[in-house]
Amino acid sequence: MDVLFEKVWSVIKQKKYLYPFLFTMVVGLLTHMFLFVNKFPNADAMTSFYFDQNMVASGRWFLTVVCGISSYYDLNWVIGFLAIFYLSIAAVFVSEFFEVRSVVCRICIGALLVTFPAVTATFAYLYTADGYMLAFLLAVLAAYFTKKYKWGFGLGAVCLALSMGSYQAYLAATILLCIMSLILMCLRNTEIKKMWSLAWRYLVMGISGGVLYYIILKICLAVQGKQLDTYQGINEMGKLSLQNLPGMLYDAYYDFIAFAVKGNIFINNGFSLICVLLLSVVVCVTALFCFLKSKSYKKWYQSLLLLVFVILIPLGTNIIYFMSSDVTFHLLMRLQWILFPIFAVVLCDTYEDVRNQTKASGKKERNVFGKLPSALIVSLLGVFAAAGLSYQFMLMDNIAYFNMNERYEKTYAYCLRLVDRIEQTPGYYTGMPVAMIGVVDESKYPVTDITGEVTSGISGTTGDILIYKGTQYGAFMQHYMNVTVNFIEGEQIIEIYNSEEYREMDSFPAESSVRIVDGIMYIKTEPME
């Protein structure tokens, strides 16, 4: 056992593995600690204090397994630590996948990954975050094993199936990694035979992983006697219609451009704009340099393939459109977007490698910026821009957590007033059916969310109130206020909503907003018409 441990440790302790892993862990914990040591629930978390994560009806048949590692309780610190741990391992394997030599570049990759606001949006639903982050790691491993080993596409297919079985959206991360590696091969003028061999392995891995995922899904549905849910068009998964294909293509490209420009994630203020522009310049300069220095332009098929791979990027990024035509994107489904700034860092490392390989003389390259080698200039620009963008992400994350804290406090204050009114209403008794209809009437309360300009794109963290229907209010009052209120739902609510007695009521906290009718307490919180 000691000998085995020493052999494993001799590999792990190498700087290219250990430093990026530890740095990612530290940055991740510093960035997200505010959430891990507090309890900032959202609407869905109200029913997930204990949740077995059996999401087979949503196609996530493996989620119950990966979330079971941390138990099925909503344990902030345990889940958060595991999620950061998985991301730290993913950062190492992303660096290995792209064969990044610079330890500094590897550290930047980890910092970008763990601070990206899509991680924060996932942490807003913390009760399932560790499972999702392990799914992302599996998506990275699918591409890594396929590229690293000749017959690794088999293991890659298994990893891909398990990843999709936890969260289907991360299929896009695997596809992007594959496309980006092929782009690098074009830029480095790799032999076409070697490139096609890898491309076929990627294709076999993707198809095999998808088929394996679908077979296991069908078995799980049959065993549990369930059907796929209609949410996000999951029930239409795998039913690609040629009639809908043009619309799917348009949606994929349109959404790609729209999110990149107006998603309020990469470009959030002047500082982030400068960082993104610098990274864009670095990408253009390094890609052009590698393409020219490696003489790829002399082979027409290299230029053609490079163009094809670039055109495929938006499709790979938004592959979810081809899995379901009714999908509505939110930030949790966009973690693969962090691979774009990461790719800029990878190109910085590739630039120096290609430059060293193609240098004709023993003289160091000089340039108009002074006596520093151009490779060092480009690397510094890329690293500083990546570090700056990561810092901006860190600020956005904590601003989002700030609003989640504010939102919880305001919800607690609102519910305290609501409970007091309920209990003080003559005729009320514990267990009485309560029909509460409508969201909070914002016209009667000041809008105090001051973070909207920053957090508008971060799902699950915005707004003034965190819950919006009776059962969620009931769970909040039960778990956070030690009060039991029997909120009712279903068709009975519709009947009450259309009743004359309800229509005559004013919105809470007006005196007429709470009344008892035929043994049922009516509470009207929606704005007056």
- pLDDT tens by residue, 132-149: 999 999 999 999 999 999
Single out the residue of 192, 434, 357, 396 nearest to residue 275, CA to CA. Answer: 396
Task: For residue 315, give the 3-state DSSP assignment.
Answer: helix
Round to whole Å and give the CA distance between 514 and 434.
Answer: 10
User: Is the pLDDT confidence value at 239 over 70?
Assistant: no
Instruction: Quote the percentage of the chain above a pLDDT of 90.
Output: 50
Bin 53: left if φ > 0, else alpha if -120 < ψ < 50, else beta: left
Round to whole Å and give the CA distance between 324 and 37.
Answer: 37
Residue bearing the bigger pLDDT, 302 or 297:
302
Cα separation of the two ends of the chain: 73
Q: What is this structure's pTM?
A: 0.91
How far is the CA of 520 from the CAs of 203, 293, 482, 507, in angstroms?
60, 78, 22, 17
DSSP string, 438-482: S---GGGS------HHHHTTSTTS-SS-S--SHHHHHHHHHHHH-
Round to whole Å and give the CA distance between 51 and 130.
Answer: 13
Q: How many CA atoms lie within 13 A of 183 on its CB side?
A: 24
Write down the pLDDT at residue 361.
Answer: 43
Single out the residue of 291, 294, 509 nearest to residue 417, CA to CA. Answer: 509
Write down the pLDDT at residue 17.
Answer: 87
Round to whole Å and give the CA distance between 80 and 76.
Answer: 6
97 contact partners, CB below 8 Å, separation of at least 6: 140, 143, 144, 147, 148, 177, 181
Q: How many CA atoms lie within 13 A of 528 on its CB side?
A: 11
- Of 173-187, 196-210, 320-334, where does mean pLDDT reach its minimum? 320-334
DSSP category for residue 40? -
Pairing relationship of beta strands 514-517 and 520-524 according to DSSP bridges: antiparallel
Length of the chain: 529
Task: For residue 367, give the 3-state DSSP assignment.
Answer: strand
Round to whole Å and give the CA distance between 395 and 413.
Answer: 27
Write down the pLDDT at residue 528.
Answer: 62
Across 42-58, average pLDDT: 85
Write down the pLDDT at residue 185.
Answer: 92
pLDDT digits (tens, 9 = 90+) for 323-372: 766 677 889 999 999 999 999 999 988 877 666 665 544 545 544 444 44
Write down the pLDDT at residue 36.
Answer: 94
Residue bearing the bigger pLDDT, 250 or 372:
250
Whether 118 contacts 136, CB under 8 Å: no
Write down the pLDDT at residue 474.
Answer: 86
Most confident of 64-78, 284-298, 371-385: 64-78
Single out the residue of 112, 115, 203 nearest to residue 160, CA to CA. Answer: 203
Across 308-312, average pLDDT: 93
Write down the pLDDT at residue 63.
Answer: 94
Single out the residue of 203, 154, 149 nearest to residue 175, CA to CA. Answer: 203
Q: Categorize the per-residue pLDDT at 238 as very low, low, confident or very high, splitting at 50, 70 and 90.
A: low
Q: Output the CA torsion 98→103→107→108 (10° steps).
A: -70
DSSP category for residue 56? G
Across 494-511, average pLDDT: 87
pLDDT digits (tens, 9 = 90+) for 100-111: 998 999 999 999
The mean pLDDT value of the chain amounts to: 87
